Chains A and B, each alone.
Chain A
Amino acid sequence: MKFFSLIPVIVIGGLLLWAGQDFPKWGDVESPASKSPVSSHFIANTGVDTEVPNMVTAVLADYRGFDTMFETVVVFIAGMAVIAILRGSSVGRPRRKDHEVEAEPDLIVTNTVRLIVPVLQIFAFYVLAHGHVSPGGGFQGGVVMGASFILIALSWDLEKAMSRFPIERCLFVAAMGIVLYGGIGLLSMMLGGEFLDYAELDKILPVSREMARYHAMLGVEIGVGFTVASIMFVLYANLASEGRLKQGL
């Protein structure tokens, strides 16, 4: 059976390699993607419309803001699904003892983590806040933030991390992230624009229409960061403890 499944893999892989010859060369200015009016429009107008130097962030959070909003909702739903599947799935089943190590948290590990975690969290805020000017943004900053809590859970235990960031608060923060994103969208709608038309926010912010888009992008990135950071920790906490939310690995 394994041999027969190899045949379609090789055939499809060969077809893909054969079709790959038609790809334009990397960085080719004559390729369809470079010549299309869409990309030249973004390249010409992003700096003028939004004053954001990092074009990727501008496209992600402004021009395609609707798309990013529902990406955030997808992350939120993934966390909810993991909780819904795992909660109560291990009731009555004994805890597996294969990998259990009953030991005090290691001195060297915990002290190293004590030094690393503050730096990680400040770096997460930097990545989030500088998403406009340098690579980064809500997703990356949120993941780094969530990773810092996972690091605490790995080096001490899950209780230690959950005493800092309880699951209920995680879910609240995750929901608040989406509310913040949608709220900025609705606010720009109430001020007379369309949903997620950030330029209308210049009526309440003391800045120009371009800078209003700049600052609203920071707002929605913070929303994305909230949701991603807390859902990453929720995912780890549930998967590492089979939904029991105690003891962990």
Chain B
Amino acid sequence: MIGLEIFNTFILLLLVVAAVTSLWVKDLLVSAVVFGVYSFLMCLLWAEMGAVDVAFTEATVGAGISTVVLVATIFHLRRKSND
């Protein structure tokens, strides 16, 4: 159980780091990729909690398709964010 606690704490800390980073960086492409990382960490957490269906959806929709769609959109925008 202690191992799981450490795993959960590690993932949750990484989640906070990923969330803050994706808002912090000026480059939208980096932001989109870090957002995908966030989704994948969420997917790990769902899987660890036993919600495998949700984890599967998060991995396919959150980390997969939405990152691709965001990157496809950013290619038609200026990459630098103003704030």
Instruction: Verify if A18 is at the interface (C-beta below 8 Å from B).
Output: no
What's the nearest-Cβ distance from chain B to residue A176, in Å? 21
Q: Are B57 and A139 in contact (CB under 8 A)?
A: yes
Given the known interface contacts A56-B53, A146-B65, the answer about A239 and B60 at a Cβ–Cβ threshold of 8 Å is no
Q: Are B60 and A150 in contact (CB under 8 A)?
A: no
Chain A contacts for B53, CB-based, 8 A: 54, 56-57, 135-137
Chain B contacts for A147, CB-based, 8 A: 60, 64-65, 68
Inter-chain CA distance A57–B83, complex, in Å, is 43
What's the nearest-Cβ distance from chain B to residue A62, in Å? 15
Instruction: Verify if A143 is at the interface (C-beta below 8 Å from B).
Output: yes
What's the nearest-Cβ distance from chain A to residue B26, in Å? 13
Given the known interface contacts A143-B65, A150-B68, A236-B68, the answer about A249 and B75 at a Cβ–Cβ threshold of 8 Å is yes
What's the nearest-Cβ distance from chain B to residue A79, in Å? 12
Chain B contacts for A240, CB-based, 8 A: 72, 75
How many chain A residues sit at the interface, stated as a range, is 20 to 34
Q: Are B75 and A99 in contact (CB under 8 A)?
A: yes
Inter-chain CA distance A5–B82, complex, in Å, is 16
What's the nearest-Cβ distance from chain B to residue A126, in Å? 12
Chain B contacts for A136, CB-based, 8 A: 53, 56
Across the interface, name the chain B residue whose C-beta is closest to A136: B56
Which A90-131 residues have C-beta < 8 A from chain B? Answer: 96, 99, 127
B interface, by DSSP: helix, strand, loop or mixed? Answer: helix
Instruction: Verify if B49 is at the interface (C-beta below 8 Å from A).
Output: yes
Chain A contacts for B49, CB-based, 8 A: 26
Interface centre among B55, B64, B68, B83 (most CB of A within 10 A): B68
Chain A contacts for B61, CB-based, 8 A: 139, 143
Q: Are B75 and A150 in contact (CB under 8 A)?
A: no
Inter-chain CA distance A242–B77, complex, in Å, is 11
Q: Are B60 and A140 in contact (CB under 8 A)?
A: yes
Given the known interface contacts A2-B83, A137-B53, A242-B76, the answer about A143 and B68 at a Cβ–Cβ threshold of 8 Å is no
Q: Fill in one digit per residue for B26-54: 1 if any A CB lies within 8 Å of its CB, else 0.
A: 00000000000000000000000100110
Q: Fill in one digit per residue for A143-163: 1 if any B CB lies within 8 Å of its CB, else 0.
A: 110110010001000000000
Instruction: Verify if A232 is at the interface (C-beta below 8 Å from B).
Output: yes
Q: Are A140 and B57 in contact (CB under 8 A)?
A: yes
